[in-house]
Amino acid sequence: MESHKDGHLYNQDKRRNLSKGKSINSSSTLSFTSQLSSLINTSSTAPKAFSGKSKSKKEDIFATHNKNTAKRAKRDLEPDASSTFEQKHTTNGEALDKGMWERSKRKMEEKARLYAAMKRGDVEDADERYAVDFDAKWAAGRANGKESDSDDDGADDDDEEEVEYIDEFGRTRKGTKLDALRVKQQQQRREEGPGILPAAPDRVIRGDTTQHQAFDLDEPRAAQMAELAGKRDKSLTPPPDEHFDGNKEIRTKGTGFFQFSGDADERKRQMENLENERAETERRRKERDGKLAERRAQIAARREQVQQKNAKRKADEFLEELSGQMPSAATTGPSDDTPASRATEPREQEEQLPGNIHIGTTQESAPAMIDRIEEAIKRDEEEV
């Protein structure tokens, strides 16, 4: 319920008083209109100011220098500039991985236990793996008087008392109680045997080693790999004989093209026939070459005979002409043995040449006969 005391604060309509202020009359309206028109005219006639941002001229890269170089050089020379080269990371080990920290801790503990066992003489270094001779080290420290309290390991002053003991070779020696105790422990270990001592690990990894367990496959994948290896190692079956098939190629075949059959027996028979044809062709070619060589020899011999006869005939004609010009030829007359008498004898003896070539010795000149012989040789070669 609303109190009557605050009733005037709620549900009250705020009415705007439009008549508040100056009254608007016609004179004020006219003055406002005239002033507005004058402002519009002045703004239209006035030149527009350039509102755009002026473009700065691009600086030349060769004219400008690197900025703040002098300041940086001065800062490097200041004494407090050493903070720039301070080490950024920390050395308290907080950034190390937790697992790596635990592994390092375990390794250090194992080394500490091994070192303590070696000092006590519980570990025999037969193969000199550790390269530490604690006996010599202890003896040197004792001779120099520099044996530390850690080497004593809480021993009493009674350990320094000299006693007699028998060493491993049966000799009576004199030394401290610590020496006697050490010799006694060695004899006990020797009697008990090497089985009491902790055995060295047999599967120690030394050097770079590939952890093949990381690449071991599961059982199904290993079976698949074994099956593939068996198929690979199996003896390969020879592929079937496949020969060239000219029908699969769309091209123009040459004159000597021959398509062999796909059947093995038929293909073998075709190849044998081709070999026989080749042998027959070679045999006929040799026979023809032999006949041609023989024919050429005969023609060359006949040509030489014709040339000799032609030379003899020309010599006879020359002698006949020479004898006709001599003055004694008119008085005596030609004898029966003169070249003139021999020239009057009939010379139309025809001689048979190879190839049915008839040559008249008096009716034809030597160049013409040679041409006819060469033509006959060409015809014989074409016929063969």
Residue 345 lies in a domain: yes
What integer is the mean pLDDT of 292-300? 92
The answer on pLDDT for 52 being more than 60 is: no
| DSSP 8-state code for residue 63 | T
Residue 348 lies in a domain: yes
Q: Whose structure tokens read 């139309």?
A: 348
Q: 228-272 pLDDT, tens per residue? A: 888 877 766 677 778 888 888 888 888 888 888 888 899 999 999
**Quick one: pLDDT at residue 54?**
60
Domain boundary among 154, 173, 190: 154
- The span from the CA of 285 to the CA of 279, in Å, is 10
- The span from the CA of 116 to the CA of 194, in Å, is 19
**Quick one: pLDDT at residue 329?**
47
Residues 6+ apart with CB under 8 A from 262: 243, 245
The answer on pLDDT for 326 being more than 60 is: yes
The pLDDT confidence band at residue 218, using thresholds 50, 70 and 90, is confident
Residue 166 lies in a domain: no
DSSP string, 82-121: GGGGS--S-SSSTTS-HHHHHHHHHHHHHHHHHHHHHHHT
Q: Does residue 10 contact residue 2 with C-beta atoms inside 8 Å?
A: yes
Residue 82 lies in a domain: no
Q: What is this structure's pTM?
A: 0.25
Query: Could you tell me the residue range of the domain that residue 357 belongs to?
Result: 277-383
The pLDDT confidence band at residue 292, using thresholds 50, 70 and 90, is very high
**Domain count for the chain:** 2
**Quick one: pLDDT at residue 249?**
82
**Residue 245, SS3 per DSSP:** coil
Crossing angle between the packed helical segments 366-383 and 264-325, to the nearest 10 degrees: 170
The pLDDT confidence band at residue 360, using thresholds 50, 70 and 90, is very low
The answer on pLDDT for 348 being more than 50 is: no
**Quick one: pLDDT at residue 50?**
53
Domain boundary among 154, 171, 195: 154
Q: 72-88 pLDDT, tens per residue? A: 888 777 755 455 555 55
Residue 371 lies in a domain: yes
The pLDDT confidence band at residue 281, using thresholds 50, 70 and 90, is very high
- The span from the CA of 138 to the CA of 148, in Å, is 10
Amino acid identity, position 58: K
The answer on pLDDT for 351 being more than 50 is: no
Amino acid identity, position 286: K
What burial class does residue 95 get, using C-beta atoms within 10 Å of its C-beta: 0-12 exposed, 13-18 middle, 19+ buried? exposed
Residue 14 lies in a domain: no
Residue 324 lies in a domain: yes
Residues 6+ apart with CB under 8 A from 160: 176, 177
Residue 286 lies in a domain: yes
**Quick one: pLDDT at residue 341?**
45
Q: Per mean pLDDT, which of 104-113, 135-144, 206-215 is the most reliable?
A: 104-113
| Measured CA distances, 98 to 101, 104, 107, 111, 217 (Å) | 5, 10, 14, 20, 31
